[in-house]
Chains A and B, each alone.
Chain A
Amino acid sequence: MIFNSIAFFVFIGIFFPLYFALKGRARLFLCLVASYFFYGWWDERFLALVAFSTCVDYFVGLKLDNTEDQPTRKKLLIASMVVNLGFLGFFKYFNFFIKSFQEMLTGFGYDGSMHSLKIILPVGISFYTFQSMSYTIDVYRKEIAVEKDFIRFSTFISFFPQLVAGPIVRASDFLPQFQKDREFSWDRVTAGTGQIIWGFFKKVAVADSLAPFVDQCFQAPETFGSLHLLIGVIFYSFQIYCDFSGYSDIAIGLARIMGFDFPDNFKKPYFSRNYSEFWTRWHISLSSWLRDYLYIPLGGNRGGTFASWFILLVFMILTVFLTGWWWLAVIYLLSSVGTYFYMQKSEYNNKNAYNYMNLMNTMLLGGLWHGASWAFVFWGFLHGSYQVVQRLAGPIWNKALDTIRTPKLFKDILAMGLVYASTCFAWIYFRAPDFDVASQVITGIASLEAFNFGSVINKFWVIKGVMVIGILLLVEILDVRLTLWKVIQTNPAFRVVSFVLLLWAIAFFGSFGANSFIYFQF
């Protein structure tokens, strides 16, 4: 079931009255049943998968709580990881690895024909798997208490507002909120409703209005002029932002009405002035997950481990074999040797180099999390590179701007522009179905052929797109400058006016075709 469908409105129309009418375990049980119904509406066969994942982590959690023997605890953790990542690997990455292996064999001149399986990707598997894994890891680390109530734990894993596309909520944030009944509160209802309306505006008015133009650009880029393609890329940057953050807003708003507080998942990411800031504003629940369960265990900015080298090495070998570009191997080898000697020079260098490696590994795996394709990995590589370059060149850049006494506002706008432009460049690889299409889009834009508005096809979509992006940015700027959402929450009359304005905007610009959310595929 998707939020922007009539079925969902019928669903919550029944769910909310029942939810507030019930108390205690009956309410918890209702949440669980409703969540499974919500997920099963898409495909009931995969309910068993969610249930199995839940059972595994529930029992592993109990076992971890019952033993202090470290080797046993480690084995239990590994068992949970194997099951969770095994499912994820099978459903999401099996065919990808088969295909990659096949291409590698063909590259060596062997017959690479192999059977792949027709595997349906269960919606939201990456989200609930990560949520479930974080619980087990936190119990293993003794950072949270084990949850002994099976119904409560199952509801935590399958909670319908955020089950299929996040935000990924940590057990430490979420499970304690189940401890007591959440009381009905008008303040929560109005705040939650505001966030839901804003989420719907982002999804149906912005993202879905931009989608047809973007789809057309990436289907046949060779047929469009330079400006048309550039608009397509800019539109995609807003489409993906509004599609995903719109979903998060609706999920967080629904949870708020039910009495639960979820952390923000997006904080106006295109206003970021550097790449580190971007990742504290974009898909925050995933970036913080990767930081806590991957980047820091790899050594973070304090140093590194064998794994830091190993992950990078695997990616290097795979890219060389799959592309067949042997010159890449030479570059890799030279840079590895260079890095090794650089690290030997001082402890500071050693720490720095490991930090860059850990950053790159995190971004590469983060890219792969998004989808089983090398394009996603490359997208991760680009973001990893941006962060490394920023750390290397950032001080020089700042010094240069200080020397010419650049005003702060100009400096900020310049930095935002740079971060936004390079993020858009990376989005091309994220959106394009393959590297060839991505290259066509990039060369098409760079050619500057037909760089005039007259050559843009379907100007209607462009005019509408510019209008909805304008409204979005206006609201975000007002929120930054005048804390708009706080004013809305405290002033009832202003709240009414804002809700009505947003609803009119949805009616006037919205696309009511029940288009799916982009992040469902991840």
Chain B
Amino acid sequence: MKKLYWVFIVIVLFFAGDRIFGWVLKQLTGKSQFRYTRLYEGKAKADILLVGNSRGLIFYQPYIEEITGSKTMNISYNGMPIDLAEVLVKDYLEKYPAPKQMILDVSMCDRLNKSLISGFNLYTPYSPRMYDLIHLNDQTGAVAGKVFHLYRYNSEIFQRSMFYLNKTDEDWLLDRVINDAMVTGITEYVPDTIKIVQRDTIKPGDKKERLFKSIMSSLTASKNGEVEYVKGVMEHLASTVAFAKAKGVDVQLVINPYYPPYLDKLVNLDQLKAEAEKATGMKVHDYSNAVKDKEGFGDYQHLNKAGSRIFLDKLMEDGVLKK
């Protein structure tokens, strides 16, 4: 019997420590100036909401604020998929007064990114919608985050939030010029296809695993969120846009610039644009070829600070970005 006490002590100590350390890490993350922490901690009120993946980071916030005089909030992140952006946008719009404008780079609709979504586990205490999205993409990870609070902080997003503990992330943009190897290498670059993906509702796999997962799913799924996983990627875009419009936000869809020789290798960008326009019923402003000078690029897909200024000036000229 005495031996059983030891088992009990291990379990109690483990969960007590897990909760205590989890709480400490939550407090620590809450002090970060990282964009998503600010979003969920209520410190991200803005007039212009900017959305994209790493290509969305070229919406250089200090310069936008300089030319528009408006406060900005950029929720873009490297490799961000549209379903994650949908959750963040919806959470933002429910938490804050509607911004005047939302600018979204639709070239982010070329991918899904399950591992990045799992990394947002540390924000599940703030957002049932986020929990649902993670549960959909990584069921075990979502449940593990509920059972073990320490597990929520097992991600790149947590490390980023620590990196921005005492400094702003609004200056996050490439500050280099595309190198010569990339400039010359583009001639040998294989033509690229932008993938317009559709998500399967059930992954193909072993039937027993599927049965087991469906049982687990029915036991653990939260009913609070609004994520509908039967939708395709473009439907996520449409849902995001519709939600923002319903809140009275002026939504602008754009395609951010590519390095022109690289753009020539993209074979179906027009298809992506057409799909986005069809799904949202809105015009997509195509700036894919808006910056021509190589000095404005950090690599094939990303403008640097100089290029970003050229691009943002164009957005202002065309009235896509408003004062």
Contact = CB atoms under 8 A, between A and B. Distances in A.
A245 B58 CA distance: 46
Contacts of A504: 14, 17-18, 21, 150
Interface string B204-215: 000011001000
Interface string A506-522: 01111111100000000
A17 to B, nearest CB: 14
B9 interface: yes
B10 A499 contact: yes
B159 A512 contact: no
A507 B138 contact: no
Contacts of A510: 144, 151, 154
A508 B140 contact: no
B6 A512 contact: no
B282 interface: no
Contacts of A212: 115
Contact of B156 (A460, A511, A513): A460
B154 to A, nearest CB: 6
Interface string A481-522: 000000000001001100110011001111111100000000
Nearest to A205: B154
Interface residues of B, number: 27
Interface in B180-209: 208-209
Most buried by B among A7, A499, A507, A511: A507
A508 B9 contact: no
Contacts of B151: 507-508, 510, 512
A500 B13 contact: yes
Contacts of B208: 41
Contacts of A7: 209, 212
Contact of B148 (A6, A499, A507): A507
A508 B21 CA distance: 10
A106 to B, nearest CB: 27
B144 to A, nearest CB: 5
Interface in B115-147: 115, 138, 140-141, 144
Contacts of B267: none
B153 A496 contact: no
Interface in B295-310: none
B3 interface: yes
B274 interface: no
A506 to B, nearest CB: 8
Interface string A463-495: 110000000000000000000000000001001
B67 interface: no
A460 to B, nearest CB: 4
A512 B144 contact: yes
A190 B21 CA distance: 26
A110 interface: no
A186 B3 contact: yes
A504 B17 CA distance: 8
B117 to A, nearest CB: 13
Contacts of B17: 500, 504
B216 interface: yes
A492 B138 contact: no
Contacts of A508: 21, 150-151, 153-154
Interface string A97-109: 0000000000000
Interface residues of A, number: 26
Nearest to A212: B115
A504 B151 CA distance: 9
A394 B263 CA distance: 59
Contact of B141 (A190, A460, A500, A512): A512
Interface string B90-132: 0000000000000000000000000100000000000000000
**Which applies to chain B's interface (DSSP): helix, strand, loop or mixed?**
helix
A204 B160 CA distance: 22
Most buried by B among A190, A461, A464, A512: A512
Contacts of B9: 496
Most buried by B among A212, A463, A495, A500: A500
Nearest to B144: A512
Given A6-B212, A500-B10, A507-B151, A513 B138 contact: yes
A163 to B, nearest CB: 18
B150 A507 contact: yes
Nearest to B148: A507
A496 B10 contact: yes
Contact of B6 (A496, A511, A513): A496
A509 B18 CA distance: 13
Given A500-B14, A507-B150, A507-B151, A492 B6 contact: yes
B134 to A, nearest CB: 12
A514 B13 contact: no
Most buried by A among B9, B154, B156, B159: B154
B2 to A, nearest CB: 9
Contacts of B141: 512-513
Nearest to B115: A212
Contacts of B159: 460, 463-464
Contacts of A41: 208
A186 B5 CA distance: 12
Interface string B7-37: 0011001100110010000000000000000
A38 B115 CA distance: 29
Contacts of A513: 138, 140-141
A123 to B, nearest CB: 13
Contacts of B21: 504, 508
A511 B114 CA distance: 13
B235 to A, nearest CB: 26
Given A460-B156, A504-B17, A508-B154, A514 B10 contact: no
A514 B153 contact: no
Contacts of A460: 155-156, 159-160
Contacts of B14: 499-500, 503-504
A512 B3 CA distance: 30
A508 B155 CA distance: 9
A7 B210 CA distance: 12
B179 to A, nearest CB: 11
Nearest to A508: B150
Interface string B282-296: 000000000000000
Interface in A448-467: 458, 460-461, 463-464
Contacts of B150: 504, 507-508
A511 B145 CA distance: 11
Contacts of A496: 6, 9-10, 13
Contacts of B212: 6-7
A118 to B, nearest CB: 17
A316 to B, nearest CB: 39
Contacts of A6: 140, 212, 216
B32 to A, nearest CB: 15
A208 to B, nearest CB: 11
23 contacts: A6-B140, A6-B216, A212-B115, A460-B156, A460-B160, A463-B159, A495-B6, A496-B6, A500-B10, A500-B13, A500-B14, A500-B17, A504-B21, A507-B144, A507-B151, A508-B21, A508-B150, A508-B153, A508-B154, A510-B144, A512-B140, A513-B138, A513-B140
Given A499-B14, A500-B17, 15 more contacts: A41-B208, A212-B115, A458-B156, A496-B6, A500-B13, A500-B14, A504-B18, A507-B18, A507-B144, A507-B148, A508-B21, A511-B154, A512-B141, A512-B151, A513-B140
A-B complex: 6 closest residue pairs judged by Cβ atoms: A460-B156, A507-B148, A507-B150, A508-B150, A186-B3, A512-B144
